[in-house]
Structure 1
Amino acid sequence: MDIVVNEELKAYIDPLTAEEYEALERSILAEGCRGALVLWGDVLVDGHNRYGICRKHGLPFQTVQNTRFQSIEDVYLWMIDQHLGRRSISEFQRGVLALRKREIVAARRAQVAALSSAPANPAVQAQDASAGRVAPEPLDTREALAKAARLSSSQVVMIEKIRKQAAPEVVAAVKAGTISINAAAAVASLPTEEQVAAAAAGKDELKQAAKRVRESGRKPSSESAAGPQQEAAESQDTVESLRQRVAALSAENAALRKQVAALQEQLLVRAGSADLTADFSAPF
């Protein structure tokens, strides 16, 4: 059969670097194509790099059909889960994939909810059951996203900010590992023109730009606000820190009260001793 390469599917996951591609090519030339390519009908879903290398060198390969795919969204979810389980992808890539998964899951849940609220139609219900259209677990909290991406909640918030606000040049820099997620999130607070200029100036200028943002305490403009999730996270952190401070002050106050009570008791004891001494020393 003729294998069809869907360019959107091929580009859905970030491509290998030149070094990674060369390493894969050397491995296939030495050991052959060990893993089967995954197909959906005649569409290639997984194994684009291996397929290209095998065709280039005329090497044999195996294919396998995934019969569970019912829609392109099923394909995307499968691809995301496959890559989230791999250690080779970066933290930024994992965060982006988890955010993509959240969008697909939200759309799927909305679709299932709409179907369930529609008037009963046995034919449609049977079709939905055979297609496996059930509402997947939601990823509507920072904790759920962080768990899916194997990241911290703060990292997920920063990656979402980069994805929404960062200029393409800054996104490319963090993908390449030129700057950290933390630095890229700081730079994303700047106007787009400043982001582009910093990225064009190179790694050192990007780091300096991030440092200036942190030191100045510059807040994002209304057009580049980090969003409700980050605001909620910051508010939650502030409330928690205040609670901890109140608890510490309460404990300190209680300790001071005990010290005052102890001092008062000592003073009373000393006063009583002084009175007794005065009584015994007075002339009869």
Structure 2
Amino acid sequence: MEKSKNKTFTKWNILFEFFNKQGGKHNKKEYDNEKFNQILNAPYTWEDDRLVFMDKKLDLFNSLLALLPIPNGKIDEVKAFMEIFKVMNDTPKHTYYVIIKHFKETYLQYTDLIDFSDNIITGLLIDRVACLHDIDSFLQIPSKYKCLYVDYINYIEHIDFDKFDNKIDWVEINWNENKPITEDSLQTIKKLKQDCENYNIPFYFKGWGKSENNPNPDDPTLNPAHRYYNKAGCMLDGRIYYYDPITKKAASTIKLFEDDYYIMEEYNGLHTIWELKSYLPLMKSELFELLKENISKNGLNDPILYYLTSDNRKIVIEGHTRLKVCIDLSIKDFPTKEITEDFNSLEDIQLWMLKHQFQRRNLSSIERLELAYQSKDIIEKRAKQNLSKAGKKDTIVSIDTNLEIANLAGVGKTTVVSYSNVIKNGSPKIIDKMKKGELTISGAFNRIKDKPSKTDKINTEIIYLKSFDEGMEFINNKIIEGIIVLKTEDQINKLTSIQKAKFGILILHQ
């Protein structure tokens, strides 16, 4: 059982559960009607609202006709259907997904006798070409909401959408984890998506089946903390195709600096997005529980900080973990504060978040450097942007990523170079000891620098100085160890790698 939005998600596999209670016996004569009724009436005992799945493996109509036990050892198909659907009709707070594996035209004689209340959704499972023949009869079911569940589409070249005539509410793909993804199947998925868009039918891509199928190893939905988490990830071409049949809404987005971002939480007027929520390391579960206990007893004192977008929506930029605690504890009365910095991009906010962490927390050098290293991609991205604007004279200064990280963390550039080398070339054991503080950065670097395969990876990034005074400032801040003065730039070729890495270069004739 797991949470899905505001409702509990569960499976109500009547026959499967009954078989289990009977020790796996499938002989109708040995069924205990009392145990069956206990399973049948379970929804009456559920106090919370639920999304209830009649599992696709159950093959509801086929199984009921063949196996469902009725008192006195007789099979009465009509009564069997009416008993199960009566439970659904009598518990309207639950939403039932009746997933049908096969639906023959002859089954329609039974559906005409059933009352399909508005909380019942019927779905036709399509996992082979033969299932396409079931669509015509499935569309005649008198249920208010219908969907197509597509498990495997390699052999499905085309679904005739002209037949749907507004009778299909959405199409959902959940890739069969036992089937590999090929280029042809990927194109078929995209074609099905395009067909849905052309006919204005919501398209729901639920997941890749298993992570090996996912073409994007950096898919954020692979992270359990993501709102749309799927064990195999669910992004298709960088987008999340989600559809909630209860609210009839797709994945919610918010606009920030003219770009759309998927909303992770919406609570008390505040919104969070993954790009900010996950930018800094997420809190470990045991620490989260301690924080939760503390806030439960003492309340929330530090305000959650937000930035107001151009359309006056509040995006959280500090306090994501505390907000999650408030959501879990249903706390709505907590302090918030607007941050009115002049941000121009998402990266501006991310760098502000990083600097704010340094201000509000007492961090060790390794902790500061580990956090500052989070900005490496942003610094490199901005360096490339600067290169397109600046002339060649500024090129080397513009791409000094290590210097920028050093300035953020308040450490020397050589320390950043050593840290980077350890991260790239150190064993997991050495990296772990360094991060835990059991090894200093220089100590960890010394462990790896003598290895033959690593010695040729010394960072020779050059720091060009604009003046002698700037060089002295860098020395005082331990960014460089000294100043090398050259008459012309071509003399740099005579310097060693160590000199280039540890000293600032001042060119007299530029």
Q: TM-score, structure 2 length as denominator?
A: 0.31
- 1:24 corresponds in structure 2 to 291
- Structure 2 unaligned segments of length 5 or more: list them: 1-265, 308-312, 392-396, 463-494, 504-510
- 1:57 corresponds in structure 2 to 329
Q: What letter matches 1:56 in structure 2?
A: D
Shift of 1:50: 0.6
List structure 1 segments (4+ residues) > 6 angstroms apart after TM superposition.
230-233, 236-239
C-alpha distance in structure 2 between counterparts of 1:175 and 1:238, whole Å = 24
8 Å CA contact 1:105, 1:138 repeated in 2: no
C-alpha distance in structure 1 between counterparts of 2:501 and 2:348, whole Å = 37
- 1:91 corresponds in structure 2 to 365
8 Å CA contact 2:417, 2:459 repeated in 1: no
C-alpha distance in structure 1 between counterparts of 2:277 and 2:496, whole Å = 36
- Structure 1 residues 179 and 186 mapped into 2: Cα distance closer, same or farther (>3 Å)? same
Percent identity reads 23
Q: How does 1:34-45 map to 2 (within 5 A)?
A: 34-40=301-307, 41-45=313-317
Picking from 351, 355, 364, the partner of 1:81 is 355
Shift of 1:93: 3.1
Tell me the alpha carbon deviations over residues 8-35 of structure 1, each in whole angstroms, 9 at most, x when there is no partner: 4222212335564455334423432112
8 Å CA contact 1:162, 1:185 repeated in 2: yes
C-alpha distance in structure 2 between counterparts of 1:220 and 1:145, whole Å = 26
Shift of 1:52: 1.4
Q: How does 1:119-268 map to 2 (within 5 A)?
A: 140=400, 145-166=405-426, 170-188=430-448, 217-221=450-454, 225-229=457-461, 234-235=498-499
- Structure 1 residues 86 and 169 mapped into 2: Cα distance closer, same or farther (>3 Å)? farther
Shift of 1:56: 1.8
Q: What letter matches 1:218 in structure 2?
A: K
8 Å CA contact 2:379, 2:404 repeated in 1: no
C-alpha distance in structure 1 between counterparts of 2:291 and 2:381, whole Å = 36
8 Å CA contact 2:306, 2:318 repeated in 1: yes
- 1:248 corresponds in structure 2 to none
- Structure 1 residues 5 and 63 mapped into 2: Cα distance closer, same or farther (>3 Å)? same
8 Å CA contact 1:162, 1:188 repeated in 2: yes
**Secondary structure at 1:13's aligned position in 2?**
coil
8 Å CA contact 2:304, 2:316 repeated in 1: yes
- Greater Cα offset, 230-239 or 141-150: 230-239
- 1:275 corresponds in structure 2 to none
8 Å CA contact 2:375, 2:405 repeated in 1: no
Q: What letter matches 1:50 in structure 2?
A: R
Tell me the alpha carbon deviations over residues 254-276 of structure 1, each in whole angstroms, 9 at most, x when there is no partner: xxxxxxxxxxxxxxxxxxxxxxx
8 Å CA contact 1:102, 1:140 repeated in 2: no
Q: How does 1:6-25 map to 2 (within 5 A)?
A: 6-17=273-284, 20-25=287-292
Tell me the alpha carbon deviations over residues 143-175 of structure 1, each in whole angstroms, 9 at most, x when there is no partner: 664343122444222212123334556544433
Tell me the alpha carbon deviations over residues 189-214 of structure 1, each in whole angstroms, 9 at most, x when there is no partner: 5xxxxxxxxxxxxxxxxxxxxxxxxx
- Structure 1 residues 183 and 49 mapped into 2: Cα distance closer, same or farther (>3 Å)? same
Tell me the alpha carbon deviations over residues 33-79 of structure 1, each in whole angstroms, 9 at most, x when there is no partner: 11222234443321111111112222232333435333211121111
- Structure 1 unaligned segments of length 5 or more: list them: 118-136, 190-216, 240-284
**Secondary structure at 2:278's aligned position in 1?**
helix
RMSD: 4.0
Higher relative helix content: 1
8 Å CA contact 1:84, 1:94 repeated in 2: yes
Higher relative strand content: 2
C-alpha distance in structure 2 between counterparts of 1:238 and 1:48, whole Å = 39
Q: What letter matches 2:451 in structure 1?
A: R
Q: What letter matches 1:43 in structure 2?
A: I
C-alpha distance in structure 2 between counterparts of 1:66 and 1:10, whole Å = 16
Tell me the alpha carbon deviations over residues 236-282 of structure 1, each in whole angstroms, 9 at most, x when there is no partner: 7999xxxxxxxxxxxxxxxxxxxxxxxxxxxxxxxxxxxxxxxxxxx
Q: TM-score, structure 1 length as denominator?
A: 0.51
- Structure 1 residues 72 and 237 mapped into 2: Cα distance closer, same or farther (>3 Å)? closer
C-alpha distance in structure 1 between counterparts of 2:401 and 2:346, whole Å = 25
- 1:260 corresponds in structure 2 to none
**Secondary structure at 2:411's aligned position in 1?**
coil
C-alpha distance in structure 1 between counterparts of 2:348 and 2:298, whole Å = 32
C-alpha distance in structure 2 between counterparts of 1:93 and 1:39, whole Å = 25
Shift of 1:228: 1.5
Picking from 66, 69, 75, the partner of 2:339 is 66
- Structure 1 residues 182 and 116 mapped into 2: Cα distance closer, same or farther (>3 Å)? closer
